[in-house]
Amino acid sequence: MLARTDSRARALVLLICATLVAGGIAARLVWWQVIEQGRLGGMALQQLAQVQKIPAQRGEIRDANGDLLATSVQVQSVYVTPPTVKDPESSAALLASVLDMPIEVVRAKLTSHSPWVWIKRRIDDQMAQRVRALALPGVGMLAEPQRSYPVVGVAAGTTIAAQVLGYVDVNGAGRYGVEQSEDALLAGQPGLVDAQQDVTGRRIADSVAQLRPPVNGANLTLTIDAGVQHLLEATMLETFKRNRAEGVTGLVMNVKTGAIVAMASFPSFDANRYASTDPQRFSNPAVSRQYEPGSVMKAFTVSAALDAGAISTTQTVVDNNNLQVGGVRIQNADRYWFPWGHGPITAAKVLQLSNNVGAAKIGLTLGGDRLYEAFRRFGFGSPTGIELAGEAAGQVWDPRSPNASGNLTTAQNSFGQGISVTAVQLAAGYAAIANGGTMVTPHVIAGWSMPDGSYHPNDLKAGERIMRQATARTVLGMLTDSVDKGIAKGGSLAGYSVAGKTGTAEIAGPVQVRGADGKLTTVYRYVPRWIDSSFIGVTPAGDPQLVTLILIHKPAVWGLYQMAERPEAVFRTFAPQMLDYLAIPPDRPTGPVASR
């Protein structure tokens, strides 16, 4: 009886255990199949889902007249799925030859542990045909957009306005110029599609669903006129070569609107071949390079002093070519011919002679605080906001700041020393003088067209008045006399009045000096024969429309800063071509044509 009782007990225990196990399994099945069904189903779909981007079409860029400057074309890119490659060695040898790549690089891609690898992106049609003819297992091609810049520049190996436009890199991102600054507008928004794939990675038929359609990018219209741009590039290239300069920059701006009509610098580059270009050429010196402007700043010093009532047009300052400020002696550029200076001179004469001592005395008469504030109102020390990547702010020192030297800073800034500016800032400042005293916003974007056909003009806020109209008119007249009667007469034009100013500034650089202990240390000092030479001219001065800046960086010089071609001479070559192209009529009578 006892054995039978134990057997029944064991059976009961086993039954209870089996029931508990079955109940647990049933509970888990209910949990996974009922309660967690939605979440697990979603996870399974995600594992099988393949979400892909559909690239949007990047917008075109055209000049002010509608001429195409940048567009996108479809090209082929080569990829590999390494697990499906049958013979990596022979395939690598064949592809390396066709794609002009090192065999070891191709071999590494074909034997990669990744399921999918780019081999070479955006190849030309001839190369694509040769890859297709190989018919290698695991190797395929996909169509991708490639940016194209169809207008060839004046210089060999360049495209027109390359530093204004920038380029688009292999990943489709804008770099430099408007391609970078307006990348979001140009690029649009890629679309998304969802497709299911089986466990082997093959797409399941009829499983493709569009999650978001692509939105194409906007088409940009620039203020740049390709005709003027071509003329400016040709002129700047010639002086770049003749002066054996390290760099040159030219720009043309509408004085009333701030629109950039042309902007060119050398060295430049071919935006279609950016990958083989020295990266230092990508930056646009007109907006990114800061430099001491020299005597072109004297016009702003005179403007500020006249507008504040610190001086009058008839008031004189005494130029003795020997102004001592803060232990530093300030002299004139013509000190070798006029060692005792020019005596009493008016503000107009200061500009005509480009007189350092006179400008410094006017600045000191105005006072450091008011001169600093005036320079800031003219936009110096702040980015202009132009739609070009990499714009620099420049530097204006408050004479009261710890980094400044009080009156010495004021005196030196008055004639353009100890201050840094950009070319576009200078042009905007002269535009304010030319247009009657209102600041403009430099810009290269005229507007843009959306994919729906709607056009949106560039909405710029009204400029701020920074000086009285009478002051601007007076200074414009003084600058006209500087060209007609002063040292800037090399910038005069037949049939047109020109208001302009020259500027020459020494460039500081690292110099090794030996200290009292005999050790060499590196300091920054002005380097002999390193100069920036510039001319800025407003045409026609009688009815101001355009301001043109010519800047030559580190030309080959001899003697007292003699050079092969001065910037005012460059202006004199370029301006008549520009005025004729734009059909801007003369504002001065020309001499009669002699009869035969």
DSSP structure string for 529-559: EEEEEEEEEEESTTS--EEEEEEEES---BT
Based on the domain organization, do 133 and 262 belong to the same domain?
no
Query: Which element (helix H / strand E) includes 89?
Result: helix 88-99
> Strand pairing partners for 511?
523
The mean pLDDT of 425-446, rounded to a whole number, is 98
DSSP letters of 453-505?
A: S-EEE--PPPPPB-S-HHHHHHHHHHHHHHHHHSTTGGG-BTTB--EEEEEEE
pLDDT tens profile 310-350 = 999 999 999 999 999 999 999 999 999 999 999 999 999 99
Higher pLDDT, 51 or 302: 302
Cα 62 to Cα 149, 277, 393, 439, 458, distances in angstroms? 11, 24, 28, 27, 15
Residue 58 near residue 217, CB atoms below 8 Å: yes
> Which residue pairs, CB below 8 angstroms and at least 24 apart, start in 543-546?
543/587, 544/255, 544/256, 544/434, 544/435, 544/476, 544/499, 545/254, 545/255, 545/256, 545/584, 546/252, 546/253, 546/254, 546/255, 546/261, 546/578, 546/582, 546/584
* Positions of E strands within 343-427: 343-346
Query: Which element (helix H / strand E) includes 509?
Result: strand 499-514
Q: What is the domain count for the chain?
A: 2
| Residue-level pLDDT at 596 | 42
Based on the domain organization, do 233 and 133 belong to the same domain?
no
Least confident of 46-50, 149-153, 450-454: 46-50
DSSP character at residue 217: P
| Whether pLDDT at 595 is above 80 | no
Based on the domain organization, do 264 and 138 belong to the same domain?
no
Residue 158 forms part of a structural domain: no
- Report the alpha-carbon distance of residue 550 to residue 569 in Å, rounded: 10
Enter the tokens of residue 480: 């006209």
Query: Which element (helix H / strand E) includes 433?
Result: helix 423-434
Residue 225 near residue 64, CB atoms below 8 Å: yes
> Which residue pairs, CB below 8 angstroms and at least 24 apart, start in 83-90?
83/115, 83/138, 84/137, 84/138, 85/110, 85/111, 85/136, 85/137, 85/138, 85/139, 86/137, 86/138
The mean pLDDT of 420-448, rounded to a whole number, is 98
| Whether pLDDT at 453 is above 60 | yes
- Report the alpha-carbon distance of residue 488 to residue 296 in Å, rounded: 11
Tell me which residue has tokens 């981007």.
53
| Residue-level pLDDT at 403 | 87
End-to-end CA distance of the chain: 153
Higher pLDDT, 171 or 481: 481
Tell me the residue range of the domain where 340 lies. Answer: 226-581
Q: What is the dihedral of CA 72, 78, 84, 85, to 10 degrees?
A: 180
| Residue-level pLDDT at 141 | 86
Helices of type H across 259-367: 285-288, 298-308, 347-353, 356-366
Based on the domain organization, do 263 and 390 belong to the same domain?
yes
| Whether pLDDT at 204 is above 50 | no
| Residue-level pLDDT at 564 | 96
- Report the alpha-carbon distance of residue 415 to residue 302 in Å, rounded: 10
Residue 51 forms part of a structural domain: no
Q: What is the CATH number of the domain that holds 249?
A: 3.40.710.10
Based on the domain organization, do 130 and 257 belong to the same domain?
no
The mean pLDDT of 19-38, rounded to a whole number, is 62
Of 589, 588, 493, 582, which is closest to residue 546 (Cα–Cα)? 582
Strands 209-212 and 499-514: unpaired
Based on the domain organization, do 400 and 284 belong to the same domain?
yes
DSSP letters of 113-128?
A: SSS-EEEEEEE-HHHH
Based on the domain organization, do 260 and 375 belong to the same domain?
yes
Query: What is the model's pTM?
Result: 0.85
Question: Secondary structure of the chain: what % helix, strand, coil (to 5)?
Answer: 35, 25, 35
Residue 162 forms part of a structural domain: no
Residue 282 forms part of a structural domain: yes
Least confident of 123-137, 197-211, 535-549: 197-211
Q: How confident is the model at residue 116 (pLDDT cuts 50, 70, 90)?
A: confident
Q: How confident is the model at residue 4 (pLDDT cuts 50, 70, 90)?
A: low
The mean pLDDT of 369-383, rounded to a whole number, is 97
| Whether pLDDT at 199 is above 90 | no
- Report the alpha-carbon distance of residue 147 to residue 167 in Å, rounded: 8
Residue 502 forms part of a structural domain: yes
**Strands of 520-539's sheet in order across:** 260-266, 247-254, 546-553, 520-539, 499-514
| Whether pLDDT at 113 is above 90 | no
Q: How confident is the model at residue 511 (pLDDT cuts 50, 70, 90)?
A: confident
Cβ within 8 Å of residue 431, ≥6 positions away: 253, 254, 255, 256, 258, 440, 547
Q: What percent of the chain is modeled with pLDDT above 90?
A: 69
Based on the domain organization, do 369 and 271 belong to the same domain?
yes
- Report the alpha-carbon distance of residue 444 to residue 223 in Å, rounded: 5
| Residue-level pLDDT at 494 | 96
| Residue-level pLDDT at 569 | 97
| Whether pLDDT at 145 is above 90 | no
Instruction: Name the most confidently modeled range: 37-46, 379-388, 553-562.
Output: 379-388
Q: How confident is the model at residue 189 (pLDDT cuts 50, 70, 90)?
A: confident
Residue 537 near residue 570, CB atoms below 8 Å: no
- Report the alpha-carbon distance of residue 567 to residue 575 in Å, rounded: 12
Residue 175 forms part of a structural domain: no
Residue 49 forms part of a structural domain: no
| Residue-level pLDDT at 222 | 98
Cβ within 8 Å of residue 28, ≥6 positions away: none
Phi and psi at 161, nearest 5°, equal 55, 35
Based on the domain organization, do 250 and 137 belong to the same domain?
no
Tell me which residue has tokens 């499983």.
207
| Residue-level pLDDT at 193 | 56
Based on the domain organization, do 315 and 450 belong to the same domain?
yes
Instruction: Name the most confidently modeled range: 20-29, 31-40, 194-203, 359-368.
Output: 359-368
Q: How confident is the model at residue 61 (pLDDT cuts 50, 70, 90)?
A: very high
Whether the CA torsion 187, 191, 195, 199 is positive or negative: it is positive
Tell me which residue has tokens 């005293």.
437
The mean pLDDT of 72-100, rounded to a whole number, is 89
| Residue-level pLDDT at 142 | 80
| Residue-level pLDDT at 206 | 47
Residue 81 near residue 138, CB atoms below 8 Å: yes
Residue 24 forms part of a structural domain: no
| Whether pLDDT at 18 is above 80 | no
| Whether pLDDT at 32 is above 80 | no
